[in-house]
Structure 1
Amino acid sequence: MKFRDDLIKFICEDAGLDAADFDDNTELFSGGFIDSFTMASILEFIEEAVGVEVAQSDVTLENFDTVARIVAFVEKQRVG
């Protein structure tokens, strides 16, 4: 779960949030917690932190709207 913890820390720092403001299933983008600039930063963070290249076609709410979805996407990319 190290990636999950690092991701939450990154989101908090980049978006100025407190970890108590959201949980793994909070809709971050559609819920207004983060904006498109933070989303772009998250994509860059993923690519740098875990070496997973994120295709433009993969950037959807289904993959990136919650911490749980982001973690699942990264785990799927690592395996596949």
Structure 2
Amino acid sequence: MSSIRVIRRIASAVFALASIGSAIMWDRRRDLPFNSEGRYFDAASGTVVDQQSVLAFAALAITFALLAFASWPMARET
């Protein structure tokens, strides 16, 4: 197996893992009780989550999934 194929397979796996991670972040944040300004404050950790970040995580999950699916056939080429 050539080194280019190995690099392409690793890139495809990284894209797939990034897609899964972004999807998990989206799932955890989409049901938070946002206030009227579109923000959620977590007093335990002191973080503020903006409602627009939910859309950003969904967009990242879709983008990384498309990159993973697009790069997989290139990793199989000889």
Larger Rg: 2
Q: Same fold (TM over 0.5)?
A: no
Q: TM-score, normalised by structure 1?
A: 0.28
Q: TM-score, normalised by structure 2?
A: 0.28
